[in-house]
Structure formats: structure tokens, C-alpha cells
């Protein structure tokens, strides 16, 4: 390979990135050697252009990559000197080199190793300058490489004399492998170099102004991961006008850019915007141009929503165009967001919680030292951190490494019946009961409570988070929050549970939110949301069931109901001749998305008080401004009246003894009137000022109240948002199964759906299975298979 110290020549890079083929490579190297012999050398850039093997744009890309190798090599030499002088350790240099590599791969920013070490406070500026003095010979080497004058090696011979030139190996493809996003970045950078040259050539801006604009351009890209073209930056900063920018872009044949980079254009065309959080751990998608057809859903399904004609591949392409490669949510979850008509939703988040769990070095004791009834005693240890948390390095959504603070890992893991140990490294049971862990990772202790009669109004409220065993009927006399529930029958209740719910007979007129499984003979007029599965023996009637598990009820028929299961559905029959048609959906993320909806409702409720106070504050502020405006108007009137009075007094003094008494009397009357007006305006000013001060005082009081409430409100909102992201992370590890099995009969009008496809049957079907299959990347269908 024609290179010096592992820095490839342009022709080698052209071969590596597919600009030329092997034959063209051999031809160019032979031509270069021949011209050197004839003492008419040409650099490889001229040869590539002269032979029409590459365009100026392609050569510009290759030169940028070549420059990275130069900077990398210089950085390695810089690091060696820094280590030799004792200014830095091997680890310091290695981290700086890795950061340099990531910055170039992410943004093609050639950050010098010395600057990185100074910014990270490993070395001082003075130490950096001392090292640079010893590195002057590297400057000479870099210049030689940039002019592409490689030393002739004995093994190189002229093609055409029977000996083929060796083809270079791809030694460093990992350092400069280009993603589509990086290629777009490079294209803009190359074109912007020409743009900058034209600006200075036409004397539209100075070189200093161009340099400042280029720095701003790179800083904006680093902060927002979005690159503006240089022309837009210079217009924004007032260095050139919009017309001047447009003229130069036309000269460059870049008029299609329209002042936007390719990523922005792609966003505009697709109607999608990607919003990255400041910590680069989360990305949200906002849909700006929804085409809004109503989906063909039956009356018994979820409320009809407007679905934008955005598809998951299109959405993921926009994420990829922003360089987002890590933590992208599953296709099923993204499709669910689109199906629900959500125009803004989270699309990617780096998985932090699972890695935090590993770093915390926790050991759990939920299954050890239990009593005969499976209980932990008061004071027993439930979990303990064995060693201090390990240093945690995680990847953000762009795939870049970053340090993550573990914080206080156990603070948010204590549920009902538990507390932190005194040393803060363990969780202790505060009562005797059955231990459990929730989806959010909280630990609970559930006391066992036996009710030997009906749990109704007469019995009274039940202890929260207890494991309930009820011999009679559980009624809706009081809201129920429980661990697990076992009852003969459940009627008219509102239940939230961590564990399983079992009714020996049935469940009627009940709303359930659970993290466990539901068992019963029948469900009538129920609304159920659970992370677990549903096991019903006989019938589901007039109910809506949304689960993250499966509906495994091979002996159960559903009538006038809607069911949504993530992990598959097995039923005996669907619908009847006289009732409303049913909806059966399998494989989707309906349960998690319903939880998202309820969490955002709770966030709105929590924010309501702050929002109300902000409205009141704004009202007082507006009233204060109105009063201030009135004061200004009165002051103007006062000053005019005062000036008029002064003019009249001057006229009176001049006219005294020269005009008739009648005219003098009129002047005196006018002066008196203006004095009264001045007094009235002063009185009004005082009154309005007092009112303004009252409004200002009320505004300050409201501001103080907002300030006192804000930390608590923000903390509550952050807890809810973190809970939602935990649910999203949990569901991404669960399998989506688009499979519906009906062992009996499904009546006409039944609506079956998978993740992407749906079908409404027009005639009865018996003993069949529906599976969702992919016919092409953007085409799915539900296939009906007859059971054996």
C-alpha cells in the first residue's frame, strides 16, 4: 500500500471507499511512478481528476479522511512525548485518542489531542506548548503526505511490464468507516469550503468572519447534532445577506439546498422532526405534516384516532440520518404510537436501568429464610449492596461512551412495607409479610389478610398492599390497592395490584390495573389492564382487556368485547349473531401505550396547579402593565397641562396692562382650569400607582408560591417520566407474538389485528389460526391457517 507511517495516499483511500477499482488503482500508481521517473510528478488528486476517475467533491471527501489519519498519527506522537515527560499517563492518552476518534466519526471534527488533554485538565497549556516544540518534525511529515509524494518502494513496478501492482489492504477501515449521516456531513463541509473561498474572493466578508462562522457552525453541530450550512450561519450572524448567500449557492449549483442541510431537508420532506435531549440519552419524534385518514375500526375497538401516514421504516431512516443508532424502540412500539395518532412521542432512549442494576452489585434475599407461609419477618433483610457501585460507562443514543453517576441506587427501590437500612446499603422489611418486586424494581412486603366474609362497606377498608384472601365477595365499597387477591367473586370494584388476582366464580363491573395474572370463570363488563396474562374458563362479555402478556383461554368465548394481547391470543370463539362485533388484537403494545396515556394525564394533573398560578401571575403582570401605561399617559397629560399653564402665565404677564380686563380674566380662568387638571392628574397618578403596586405585590406572592411548589412538582413529574421509561425498557425485552388461535367459531364482522396488518372477516370461520407475515419490508398481512 502506498502510504507513509500508516497514512494512506489519496489513491489508496479512493480504492478503499470504492471510488476506483483495482485496475484503475494499478494504472494510477504506475502512472505516478512513471511521472516521477520523468521528473514531471503530479499528485494523486491531479491524476484522479485528469483520468476522470473522481470528481472534485469525491477528492474533497478523501482529503478529509486523509487529514484525520494525519491528525491521529500526530496525536499518537504527542501522547508518547506527554507520557515520556510525565505529563500524562497511558490511560489519559488512550482516553483522549478514543475521544478524538469518536469526534471525527460523529462530526468529522479534527480535534487535536493536545487540546483534548488541556480541556480534560490532564495537562496545562504550557505543557502542551512544550510538547509541540518537540513535534515539529511531524509537521514536515504531514506536509509530505498531504502533497501525496510517497517514497518509491522497491516492490513497486510499472504496470504493463508483466508485473501487477499490489492492492492495498484495508488496515484502518474501523477508524474511518462512513455512515450515511457522516457522508452527508462531509458533503456539506466540502461544499462549505468552496463557499467560504467564494465569499472572501468576492470580498463579501473577511477571513476572520468566515472563521468565526465556521466555529459557530461546528459548535452548533456538537450541541444539537445538526449541521447548518455555512451560508445560513453567516446570514444569521449578519456577515452576508440572504441574497448574497443565494447567489453563491447558485454559483455552486447548490440552489436545491434552500439554506438547509440535507438532514433538515429530509425532515421537511417527511414531515418528521427529531428532538434530542440535552444529555443525548433520549430522542423524541414530532410529526409536522400528518395526512390524516381515519382508520377503519369497528365500534367496539379502542376510540378511533387519526393516524398519520408515516411508516416505521421512514421514521427509523430519519433517526439514522441524525446519527441515532442506540436505544431505538422496537418497531411494534413505534408502530403503536403511529396507530394511536400520537404526533409527538419518544422514539429512542439509551438503556440505563439494566446497566445501573448490574453496576449496583445488589444481592436479593426474597426467596431465602421464609416462614412456612412464605413470609419474611419484620427486620429481615430483602436486599443488600455487596460492594460500592462500579464505575459505569454507558452509550448515549449516538453510540458515544459517557460516564454515568449511580447516585443513591436504593433510594427509589423501597415500596410499601420496606425501608432503607441505617447504613444506606440495604433494604429491610418493616412488617411481616410476603416479599415481592414490581415491574419498576421496587420491593414490597405484603401482609397476609384473611377475610372470612364479604369485603363490603360493612366490613370497612382493607390494608393497602396486603395479600387478600376473601371467603366471600369483594365489592366496590372502597378502592383496593393490594399485593395479590383471591376471592369467591369480585363485583363493582376498582383494583390496583402488584400480584395475581383470582376469582373462583367471576368478575363483574370491575376496573383492574395489575402487574400479575388474572384468573376467573367469566368476565362481565370489566376493564382490565395488566402486565401479566389472562386465564378465563368460560366467557368474556362486554369487556375491554389490554395486556402485555397473553390471553390463554382455549375454553372461553368472547362477546361484544375488545381484547389486546402482546404475546398471543387463544380463544374458543368470538362474537355472536345478535351482538356487536368483537376486536381481537395480538402482538401490539397497546397496554404500554395506555399506561403512557395515563401517566401523561397524571403529569397534566400535577402540573395544573403550577399552570394555574402561572396564568394568575401573567394576569397580574398584564394588569400592572396596563396601569403603568395609564400612568405614562397621565404623565404626558400632566406635562402638557403644566406647559400650557406656563405659557398662559407668560402671556398673562406680557398682556397685563395692555389688554382688556375681559381677556385677562379669561386667561386667569384658563390657568385655574389647567391647575385643577394638573391636581387631578397627580391624584389619579397616585391612585393608579397604588393599584399597580398591589398587582406587583400579588405577582411577587404568586412567583414565590410557584418557586416553592416547583421543586416538588418537577420531582413528581420526573418520577412519573422515569417510570414510563422503565415500562418502555421492560416491554422492549418482551417478545411480541402476532398469533391468534380460535378453536371454535368466529362470527362475521370480527376485526382481527396484528402489529401492522388487520382483517375484518365477512363470513364465519371455524377452528383456525391467524399469523402476521411480512411479504415485503413495507407490506404485512394476516394469513388464515386452518387448524388440524
What pLDDT, on the 0 to 100 scale, is given for residue 303? Answer: 35
Higher per-residue pLDDT: 727 or 78: 727
Quote the CA–CA distance of 421 and 380 in Å, as a whole number: 10
Angle between helices 180-201 and 312-321 (to 10 degrees): 50
What pLDDT, on the 0 to 100 scale, is given for residue 154? Answer: 37
The DSSP letter of residue 287 is E
Q: Quickly state the pLDDT bin for 551 (edges 50, 70, 90).
A: very high
Mean pLDDT of 384-398: 77
Higher per-residue pLDDT: 292 or 361: 361
What pLDDT, on the 0 to 100 scale, is given for residue 74? Answer: 73
Nearest in space to 433 (alpha carbons), one of 475, 378, 384, 389: 378
Cα atoms found within 13 Å of the Cα of residue 651, Cβ hemisphere only: 15
Quote the CA–CA distance of 196 and 216 in Å, as a whole number: 14
Higher per-residue pLDDT: 559 or 90: 559
H or E element at residue 741:
strand 739-746
H or E element at residue 429:
strand 426-429
Please, are residues 591 and 734 in contact by the beta-carbon 8 Å criterion? no
What pLDDT, on the 0 to 100 scale, is given for residue 677? Answer: 77
Higher per-residue pLDDT: 321 or 406: 321
Give the pairing type, strands 779-786 and 765-776.
antiparallel
How many CB atoms neighbour CB 126 within 10 A?
A: 8
pLDDT in tens, 611-638: 999 999 989 988 888 888 888 877 787 7
What pLDDT, on the 0 to 100 scale, is given for residue 23? Answer: 77
Mean pLDDT of 396-425: 81
How many CB atoms neighbour CB 769 within 10 A?
A: 16
Instruction: Give the list of residues 6+ apart from residue 129 with CB closer than 8 angstroms, or none.
Output: none
Query: Looking at the predicted structure, is the pLDDT value of residue 73 above 80?
Result: no
What pLDDT, on the 0 to 100 scale, is given for residue 631? Answer: 81
Instruction: Give the list of residues 6+ apart from residue 289 with CB closer than 8 angstroms, or none.
Output: 270, 271
What pLDDT, on the 0 to 100 scale, is given for residue 753? Answer: 94
pLDDT in tens, 750-774: 999 999 999 999 999 999 999 998 8
- Record the pTM: 0.64
pLDDT in tens, 322-357: 888 888 999 999 999 988 888 889 999 988 777 776
Quote the CA–CA distance of 198 and 200 in Å, as a whole number: 6
Query: Looking at the predicted structure, is the pLDDT value of residue 151 above 70?
Result: no
**What are the residue boundaries of the structural domains of the chain, listed by start?**
3-154+173-178, 189-265, 271-349, 353-437, 595-712
Alpha-helical regions (H) of 225-311: 230-236, 242-251, 262-270
Give the angle 305-308-312 at the CA atoms, nearest 5°.
115
Mean pLDDT of 484-503: 96
pLDDT in tens, 90-136: 888 888 888 877 766 655 555 677 788 888 778 888 788 777 766 66
Q: How far apart are the first and last CA of the chain?
A: 64
What pLDDT, on the 0 to 100 scale, is given for residue 41? Answer: 65
Mean pLDDT of 201-214: 83
Quote the CA–CA distance of 417 and 427 in Å, as a whole number: 10
Query: Looking at the predicted structure, is the pLDDT value of residue 283 above 60?
Result: yes
What pLDDT, on the 0 to 100 scale, is given for residue 161? Answer: 36
Per the DSSP assignment, residues forming a β-bridge with 444 are 436
What pLDDT, on the 0 to 100 scale, is given for residue 225? Answer: 57
The three cell numbers of residue 183 are 457522508
- Phi then psi dihedrals of residue 276, to 5 deg: -100, 135
Angle between helices 125-133 and 56-84 (to 10 degrees): 100
What pLDDT, on the 0 to 100 scale, is given for residue 504? Answer: 95
Amino acid at each position: 500500500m502506498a502510504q507513509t507511517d500508516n497514512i494512506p495516499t489519496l489513491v489508496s483511500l479512493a480504492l478503499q471507499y470504492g471510488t476506483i477499482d483495482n485496475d484503475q488503482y494499478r494504472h494510477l500508481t504506475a502512472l505516478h511512478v512513471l511521472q516521477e521517473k520523468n521528473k514531471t510528478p503530479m499528485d494523486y488528486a491531479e491524476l484522479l481528476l485528469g483520468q476522470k476517475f473522481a470528481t472534485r467533491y469525491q477528492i474533497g471527501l478523501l482529503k478529509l479522511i486523509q487529514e484525520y489519519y494525519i491528525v491521529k498519527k500526530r496525536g499518537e506522537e504527542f501522547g508518547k512525548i506527554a507520557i515520556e515527560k510525565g505529563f500524562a499517563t497511558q490511560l489519559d492518552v488512550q482516553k483522549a485518542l478514543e475521544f478524538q476518534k469518536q469526534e471525527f466519526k460523529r462530526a468529522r471534527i479534527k480535534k487535536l489531542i493536545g487540546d483534548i488533554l488541556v480541556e480534560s485538565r490532564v495537562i496545562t497549556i504550557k505543557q502542551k506548548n512544550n510538547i509541540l516544540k518537540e513535534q515539529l518534525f511531524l509537521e514536515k511529515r504531514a506536509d509530505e503526505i498531504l502533497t501525496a509524494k510517497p517514497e518509491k518502494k522497491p516492490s513497486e513496478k510499472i504496470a504493463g511490464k508483466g508485473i501487477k501492482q499490489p492492492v492495498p489492504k484495508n488496515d484502518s477501515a474501523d477508524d474511518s468507516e462512513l455512515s450515511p449521516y457522516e457522508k452527508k456531513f462531509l458533503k456539506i463541509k466540502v461544499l462549505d469550503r468552496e463557499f467560504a473561498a467564494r465569499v472572501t474572493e468576492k470580498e463579501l466578508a473577511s477571513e476572520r468572519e468566515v472563521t468565526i462562522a465556521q466555529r459557530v457552525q461546528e459548535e452548533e453541530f456538537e450541541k444539537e447534532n445538526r449541521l447548518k450550512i455555512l451560508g445560513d450561519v453567516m446570514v444569521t450572524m449578519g456577515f452576508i445577506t440572504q441574497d448574497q448567500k443565494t447567489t453563491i449557492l447558485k454559483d455552486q449549483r447548490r440552489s436545491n439546498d434552500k439554506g438547509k442541510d440535507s438532514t433538515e431537508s429530509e425532515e421537511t420532506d417527511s414531515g418528521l422532526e427529531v428532538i434530542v435531549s440535552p444529555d443525548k440519552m433520549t430522542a423524541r419524534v414530532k410529526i409536522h405534516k400528518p395526512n390524516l385518514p381515519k382508520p377503519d375500526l369497528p365500534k367496539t375497538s379502542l376510540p378511533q384516532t387519526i393516524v398519520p401516514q408515516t411508516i416505521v421504516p421512514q421514521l427509523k431512516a430519519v433517526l439514522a440520518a441524525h446519527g441515532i443508532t442506540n436505544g431505538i424502540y422496537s418497531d411494534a412500539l413505534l408502530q403503536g404510537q403511529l396507530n394511536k395518532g400520537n404526533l409527538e412521542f419518544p422514539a429512542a432512549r439509551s438503556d440505563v436501568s439494566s446497566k445501573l442494576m448490574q453496576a449496583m452489585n445488589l444481592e436479593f434475599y426474597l426467596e431465602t429464610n421464609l416462614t412456612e407461609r412464605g413470609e419474611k419477618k419484620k427486620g429481615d433483610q430483602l436486599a443488600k449492596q455487596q460492594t460500592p457501585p462500579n464505575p459505569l460507562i454507558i452509550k448515549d443514543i449516538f453510540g458515544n461512551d459517557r460516564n454515568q453517576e449511580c447516585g443513591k441506587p436504593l433510594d427509589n427501590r423501597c415500596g410499601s412495607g420496606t425501608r432503607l437500612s441505617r447504613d444506606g446499603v440495604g433494604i429491610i422489611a418493616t412488617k411481616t409479610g410476603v416479599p415481592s418486586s414490581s415491574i419498576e424494581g421496587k420491593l414490597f412486603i405484603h401482609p397476609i389478610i384473611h377475610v372470612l366474609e364479604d369485603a363490603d362497606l360493612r366490613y370497612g377498608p382493607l390494608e393497602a398492599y396486603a395479600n387478600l384472601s376473601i371467603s366471600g365477595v369483594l365489592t366496590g365499597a372502597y378502592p383496593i390497592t393490594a399485593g395479590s387477591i383471591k376471592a369467591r367473586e369480585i363485583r363493582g370494584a376498582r383494583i390496583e395490584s402488584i400480584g395475581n388476582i383470582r376469582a373462583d366464580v367471576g368478575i363483574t363491573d370491575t376496573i383492574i390495573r395489575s402487574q400479575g395474572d388474572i384468573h376467573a370463570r367469566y368476565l362481565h363488563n370489566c376493564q382490565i389492564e395488566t402486565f401479566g396474562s389472562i386465564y378465563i374458563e368460560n366467557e368474556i362479555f362486554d369487556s375491554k382487556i389490554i395486556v402485555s402478556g397473553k390471553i390463554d383461554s382455549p375454553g372461553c368465548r368472547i362477546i361484544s368485547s375488545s381484547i389486546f394481547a402482546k404475546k398471543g391470543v387463544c380463544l374458543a370463539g368470538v362474537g355472536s349473531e345478535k351482538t356487536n362485533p368483537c376486536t381481537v388484537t395480538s402482538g401490539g403494545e397497546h397496554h404500554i401505550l395506555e399506561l403512557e396515556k395515563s401517566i401523561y394525564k397524571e403529569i397534566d394533573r400535577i402540573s395544573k396547579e403550577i399552570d394555574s398560578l402561572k396564568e394568575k401571575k401573567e394576569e397580574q403582570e398584564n394588569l400592572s402593565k396596563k396601569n403603568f401605561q395609564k400612568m405614562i399617559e397621565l404623565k404626558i397629560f400632566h406635562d402638557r397641562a403644566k406647559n400650557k399653564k406656563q405659557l398662559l402665565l407668560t402671556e398673562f404677564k406680557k398682556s397685563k396692562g395692555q389688554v382688556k380686563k375681559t381677556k385677562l380674566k379669561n386667561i386667569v380662568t384658563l390657568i385655574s382650569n389647567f391647575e385643577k387638571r394638573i391636581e387631578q392628574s397627580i391624584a389619579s397618578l397616585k391612585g393608579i400607582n397604588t393599584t399597580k403596586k398591589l398587582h406587583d405585590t400579588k405577582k411577587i406572592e404568586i412567583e414565590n408560591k410557584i418557586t416553592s411548589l416547583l421543586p416538588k412538582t418537577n420531582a413528581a413529574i420526573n418520577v412519573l417520566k422515569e417510570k414510563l421509561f422503565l415500562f418502555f425498557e421492560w416491554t422492549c425485552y418482551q417478545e411480541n407474538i402476532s398469533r391468534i388461535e380460535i378453536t371454535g367459531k368466529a362470527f362475521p364482522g370480527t376485526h382481527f389485528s396484528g402489529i401492522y396488518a388487520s382483517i375484518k372477516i365477512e363470513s364465519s370461520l371455524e377452528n383456525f389460526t391467524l399469523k402476521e407475515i411480512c411479504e415485503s419490508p413495507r407490506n404485512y398481512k394476516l394469513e388464515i391457517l386452518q387448524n388440524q
